[in-house]
Structure 1
Amino acid sequence: MAESIVSTILEQLKEITINKAREAWSLVRGAEKEVERLESNFKALRLELEDAEEREYQDKRVKHWLDKFKDVAYDMEDVLDEWEIAVAKRWG
């Protein structure tokens, strides 16, 4: 009888472990897709940034916009770096 209880508990623990692993994998996969999307957007924004840098000397509004944009871009880079470090610590 004790063997039956232990067997049942082990089976339940196995199922819980499998379900948690699936959930974790799903979260990582979803996050990876989001990071890929953000990286793609970031590349497009860098092209805009290059164009704005060429025009900043002719238009003060562009310079102001460019300064704000650079701040946001650096914040985005920091967030992506922190995410990569967190993922590496957890899964690496």
Structure 2
Amino acid sequence: MAESFAFEIAAKVLEKLGSATYERISLAWGVRGEFEKLKLTLAAIRAVVLDAEQQQARNHEISHWLHKFNDACYEMEDLKDEFEIQALRRQVLEQGSILACRFRMGNKIKKANEMLNEIAANKAKFPLTQKHETNVLHRQRETYS
């Protein structure tokens, strides 16, 4: 089965948030706790996305829930990009600007957590089970002319 966009983006964001660079930056900016919450919630939702994808054709509510998760994944991707940009800016900013940046990024991470928490709470409404990713290779048949 091919993995969904949301499944793949969530995997990339989780990988990035778990990197040593993000650990150091989040600790320095004082947002490590929020990042940890974000990672845990994202991982919990990602665990049932493949099942939700299979059930969405039969259940409009699951389809709507997946749409919200896709939107949240776009937000997470944007947040990840902005976090990287702010980390680069931090290297050249003065101390006062760093505090403003820390506050701004902390608020964005908190909002992302709230969005994911709502999605995670709503997943309990559905009979979703955890599916493990399976990589299916599609090989084209070789022909000789």
TM range (shorter): 0.5 to 0.7
Given the superposition, is the C-alpha separation of residues 36 and 87 from structure 1 closer, same or farther in structure 2, using an over 3 Å criterion?
A: farther
Corresponding residue of 2:31: 31
Corresponding residue of 2:42: 42
Counterpart secondary structure, 2:58: coil
Q: Distance in 1 between matches of 2:71 and 2:87?
A: 25
- Over alpha carbons, which structure has the higher Rg? 1
- What TM-score does the superposition give when structure 2 sets the normalisation length? 0.38
Q: Where in structure 1 do 4 or more consecutive aligned residues deviate above 3 Å?
A: none
| Equivalent residue runs for 1:53-64 within 5 Å | 53-64=53-64
The CA deviation at 1:29 is 4.9
Q: How many residues align?
A: 68
The CA deviation at 1:44 is 1.5
Identity level (%): 37
Contact 1:35 1:80 (8 Å CA) reproduced: no
Structure 2: gaps of 5 or more residues: 1-24, 93-145
| Equivalent residue runs for 1:1-92 within 5 Å | 28-91=28-91
By percentage of residues, which structure has more helix? 1
Given the superposition, is the C-alpha separation of residues 45 and 88 from structure 1 closer, same or farther in structure 2, using an over 3 Å criterion?
A: farther
Structure 1: gaps of 5 or more residues: 1-24
Q: Distance in 1 between matches of 2:41 and 2:73?
A: 11
Q: Distance in 2 between matches of 1:75 and 1:40?
A: 16
- Range moving further from structure 2, 56-65 or 29-38: 29-38
The CA deviation at 1:87 is 1.8
Task: Indicate the structure whose relative CO is greater, using CA pairs within 8 Å and at least 6 residues apart.
Answer: 2
Question: 1:64-87 CA distances to partner (integer Å, 9 max, x unpaired)?
Answer: 221122112211221132123212
